[in-house]
Amino acid sequence: MTVLASLVIDILNYVGIIAFAVSGALKAIEKDMDLLGVVVLGFSTALVGGITRDVLLGVTPPVNITYLPYPITAIVASLAALPFARYVTRGIKPFLYADALGLGAFTAIGAQVAFTHGINPLGIAMLASITAVGGGVVRDLLANEVPMVLSREVYACASIIGGFAYWPLVELLPGDAALIVTVLVSSIRIAAIERGWSLPRARSLAWKGDRPRRRRSS
């Protein structure tokens, strides 16, 4: 990876940590949790995906715990969201764009780490998406909700596409693959925000046409 690409991804990684931590904090505020709940949801949203990836790869202790700038950034961002919660909610679109950039960076980092451990293309896509959306899943479960990535919007799908794209890109353009994946995933997510893209609901596919009638028992 080139020095410039590495610097850009590192910056976007911190953007993602801040955006994800704030989203976790906002969820805790919405659920009327206490201060500890704000920190736990913010920390979990920002870092649990990477922690899960490292545990699955046998990297212990996980980087997101041992490299202090990551957890410190997540905790500070979570607490900083408290006085500005109403303003962040009002300016939700810029926040979603920052979240999209973080999604792309997290996907690229997850794919890169998986690739360096010799994982196959399917495994790379899986670990890339776990890195990017795992924290959001845990956030929603802790808030007693169906995870957003499973119920609406093109979010996890963008990460999965980026994960699958990484393997051929790293073979063709090893120095720029991570940056290209970051741009690809972020672009898909931003396009989904602007155009309102979402996947079809499972119920609408299962119940297309007339529902089968139940036979009356004789």
pLDDT digits (tens, 9 = 90+) for 64-115: 999 999 999 999 999 998 887 776 666 567 778 888 888 999 999 999 999 9
Nearest Cα neighbor of 104 from 11, 4, 197, 42 is: 11
Percent share of the chain, pLDDT over 90: 57
153: three-class secondary structure by DSSP: coil
In the predicted structure, residue 54 carries a pLDDT above the cut 60: yes
The predicted structure's pLDDT at residue 203: 73
The predicted structure's pLDDT at residue 218: 45
Lowest mean pLDDT among 60-64, 88-92, 188-192: 88-92
Distance CA(188)–CA(98), nearest Å, equals: 13
In the predicted structure, residue 214 carries a pLDDT above the cut 80: no
For tokens 């890195």, what's the residue?
Answer: 131
**How many other C-beta atoms are found inside a 10 Å radius of the C-beta of residue 71?**
17
In terms of pLDDT, which residue wins out, 174 or 43? 43
Distance CA(115)–CA(168), nearest Å, equals: 11
- Contacts by 58-67 with C-beta closer than 8 Å and gap 24+? 59/113
Average pLDDT, the chain: 87
In the predicted structure, residue 59 carries a pLDDT above the cut 60: yes
The predicted structure's pLDDT at residue 122: 96
For tokens 């994800």, what's the residue?
Answer: 20
134 and 53 in contact (C-beta within 8 Å)? yes
109-150 residue pLDDT tens:
999 999 999 999 999 999 999 999 999 999 999 999 988 888
Q: In which element (H, E) is residue 40 found?
A: helix 35-57
The predicted structure's pLDDT at residue 26: 87
Percent share of the chain, pLDDT over 70: 91
The predicted structure's pLDDT at residue 210: 53
The predicted structure's pLDDT at residue 215: 55
The two structure tokens encoding residue 75: 């905790």
